[in-house]
Amino acid sequence: MQRQNETATRTGGDIHTLEAVALAATRAAAVASYAWVGRHDQKAADAAATAAMREALAGAPGRGTVVIGEGEKDDAPMLFNGEVVGTGNGPDFDIAVDPLEGTSFCARDLPGALATIAFGAPGSFWSPGPGFYMDKIVVPPRAKDVIDLDDPPERTLAKVAQALGKQVGELRVVIMDKPRHKELIARVARAGAAVQTPAGGDVGGSLAVLLPTLDVDLLIGVGGTPEGVMTAAAVRALGGGMLGRLAPQRPEEAEAIRAAGMSLDRVYDCDELVGGDAFFVATGVSGGPLAGRPRESDGTTIAESLLISRGEIRHITHTTFDKISG
């Protein structure tokens, strides 16, 4: 609480007054990248989302600093770490961002692509430095006190099932379909749980765990650190449980982490990943159960968003007069 009071004083205002700014930024990114849905050009879709989001954030009241951006690990277009946006006439705020989460879904016209962003009071977001990947686990509020990243998956399943009042065979688990997860997927399946294996999109998978309307109980596995910090903003806002640990995927990444004086063994909980007041926003790009894709109707463009803030999930429909261009 002391840290939140300090950051509130530094910002000179309530971070939640910027929710409309974040919604406008993800909406702009979603509409811009939707023009590339199904065109099999991930870089072009990512570039369109990034440019539109950067333009939307340029007019934000206040001074926003990108603490954790997306793109460095795969040489993609990005809002870069340390980039400053906004007019300066308002509160300071920090940003964690992925303008297009699920670029492959967008390129292949598969459900799950989202434009995502999190805003926090200054100093709220943990920075992973040169660490691009992290091992993570996300659970609903009732299971937040039983998780341990050092547990084998079978024990994790048993503990989460007990906390949720279920049998292991009733659990539904999200694990991204990556070569690094081959053994993990096999072990979870052998233990009796149902496994969803999307090709990417661990932010979307984590949101599915948090939303009571979706039948998902747990997300585990290695994903991106930007996605991890944004996920933590949503988890913290809703009282869920999350743990993360840096998990470099290449020797040079591990060496860079060590050179930065960071530990490869330390486990961070949700309140360490996001240590101050924050909120999370996502807007649908290629559709799916979280948010529909942008669409045109009677001369207007309609987009669907999720705002996760202060213990609430709000489903928001934006209607504007700008057009989707292809």
| pLDDT higher than 70, residue 326 | no
> How much is the pLDDT for 298?
81
**pLDDT one-digit tens code per residue, 155-177:** 999 999 999 999 999 999 999 99
Q: Determine phi and psi for 138, rounding to 5 degrees.
A: -130, 130
Strand 114-120 relative to strand 278-284: parallel, antiparallel, unpaired? antiparallel
pLDDT band at 323 (very low <50, low <70, confident <90, very high): low
The gap between the terminal CA atoms of the chain, to the nearest Å, is 47
pTM of the model: 0.90
183 is in an annotated binding site: no
Alpha-carbon distance of 23 to 29, in angstroms, equals 10
> How much is the pLDDT for 324?
65
In this structure, whether the domain defined by 2-124+278-320 belongs to CATH 3.30.540.10 is answered with: yes
pLDDT band at 310 (very low <50, low <70, confident <90, very high): very high
154 is in an annotated binding site: no
Alpha-carbon distance of 241 to 147, in angstroms, equals 8
Number of C-beta neighbours around residue 268 at 10 A? 22
pLDDT band at 194 (very low <50, low <70, confident <90, very high): very high
Question: Which residues, including other chains, have CB under 8 Å from residue 117's CB and lie 6 or more apart?
Answer: 22, 25, 26, 53, 95, 96, 97, 98, 99, 230, 280, 281, 282
| pLDDT higher than 80, residue 9 | no
> How much is the pLDDT for 186?
98
**pLDDT one-digit tens code per residue, 264-292:** 999 999 999 999 899 999 999 999 999 99
255 is in an annotated binding site: no
Alpha-carbon distance of 275 to 294, in angstroms, equals 33
| pLDDT higher than 90, residue 74 | no
148 is in an annotated binding site: no
| pLDDT higher than 50, residue 2 | no
The residue written with tokens 């691009």 in the block is 132
98 is in an annotated binding site: yes
Q: H helices of 165-295, where?
A: 182-190, 202-210, 225-238, 251-259, 270-273
**pLDDT one-digit tens code per residue, 227-242:** 999 999 999 999 999 9
Whether the domain at 2-124+278-320 and the domain at 133-273 fall into the same CATH topology: no
Strand 268-269 relative to strand 241-246: parallel, antiparallel, unpaired? antiparallel
pLDDT band at 248 (very low <50, low <70, confident <90, very high): very high
The closest alpha carbon to 289, from 142, 172, 193, belongs to 172
Mean pLDDT estimate for the chain = 91
Q: Span 133-273: which CATH code? A: 3.40.190.90
* H helix or E strand, kind and range, residue 55: helix 42-58
| pLDDT higher than 70, residue 4 | no
**pLDDT one-digit tens code per residue, 107-152:** 999 999 999 999 999 999 998 889 999 999 999 999 999 999 999 9
CA distances to 133, 244, 263 from 248, rounded to whole Å, are: 6, 12, 11
Residue extents of the structural domains in the chain: 2-124+278-320, 133-273
* H helix or E strand, kind and range, residue 115: strand 114-120
Q: Average pLDDT for residues 37-45, to the nearest whole number?
A: 96
> How much is the pLDDT for 275?
93
Burial 13-43, CB ≥16 within 10 A → b, else e:
eebeebbebbbbbbbbbbbbbbebbeeeebe
pLDDT band at 325 (very low <50, low <70, confident <90, very high): low
